[in-house]
Amino acid sequence: MIDQRRRDDEPDTGQLILDQLGGTSGMIYTAIPVVVFVIANSVAPLPITIGVAIAVAIAIAVLRVVRGEPVMTALGGVFGVIAAGAVAGATGSADGYFLIGIWASLAGAVITGASLVARRPLTGLLWNALHGNRYRWRQDRPVLRAHDIATLTLTVLFTARFIVQDQLYDADATGWLGVSRIGMGFPLLALALVVVVWAFRRSTRRLADDGENTAQPTA
């Protein structure tokens, strides 16, 4: 009975991650302004293209609020499009719209890769944080290995995004940048999250469900 209550009290880590990313619909919503931007860029000057993308982002945000989503979650997409549009305007190039995403991918690759080198894989730190930092998860080899695999998957994803999109940026291929932004966005992230959720559930089964290894982890 105690074990069952512990399982019922465990956070749905997969759902928590998806919620932080805005859910499946949120990821789809973020792709729409990209498509609009690329299409508008082929027929209109850059300032108009940026304005159209922002207008679409605002319309989507209003729709999301009307459907009952949190205001800040809905506005996050608008802020992202405004920031991307500002970079495009500052650089005077439509390709600049994708620069924030390109450098964010590089930052993600560096952070996740560094956590692997330090033997503190990022997904393991996140799992333990979601469980109140109660577990000495790094002392359990199967759990540590699972988070090595999950974090490495994210590192590969971020690295691939950066390499591909940076090359397209250098080639001034705005259309293909849009395609890669969408294609290497939610679809690949969904595959990576499958691995992350697997690592989370493996950790929960080995540590949380049996009630062992509950001492505070070492640094």
Question: What is the pLDDT, as a whole number, of residue 153?
Answer: 97
Q: Is residue 106 part of a domain?
A: yes
Q: Is residue 65 part of a domain?
A: yes
Q: Is residue 214 part of a domain?
A: no
- Cβ(199)–Cβ(127) under 8 Å? yes
Q: Is the pTM of this model over 0.75?
A: yes
- Tally of domains within the chain: 1
| Residue found by looking up tokens 């291929």 in the block | 173
Alpha carbon dihedral 79, 82, 84, 85, in 10-degree steps, equals 170
Given a cut of 90, whether residue 4 has pLDDT beyond it is no
- Domain with 136 in it: 2-208
For 77-135, what is each residue's pLDDT tens digit?
Answer: 899 999 999 999 999 999 999 999 999 999 999 999 999 999 999 999 999 998 888 89
Six-digit token pair at 179? 């395609």
Six-digit token pair at 90? 């500052």
Secondary structure in 3-state letters for 78-133: HHHHHHHHHHHHHHCCHHHHHHHHHHHHHHHHHHHHHHHHCCCCHHHHHHHHHCCC
Q: Is residue 183 part of a domain?
A: yes
Question: What is the pLDDT, as a whole number, of residue 130?
Answer: 86
For 159-217, what is each residue's pLDDT tens digit?
Answer: 999 999 999 999 999 999 999 998 888 888 888 988 999 999 999 888 876 655 554 44
CA angle 198, 24, 130 (to 5 degrees): 45
Question: What is the pLDDT, as a whole number, of residue 71?
Answer: 85
Q: Is residue 172 part of a domain?
A: yes
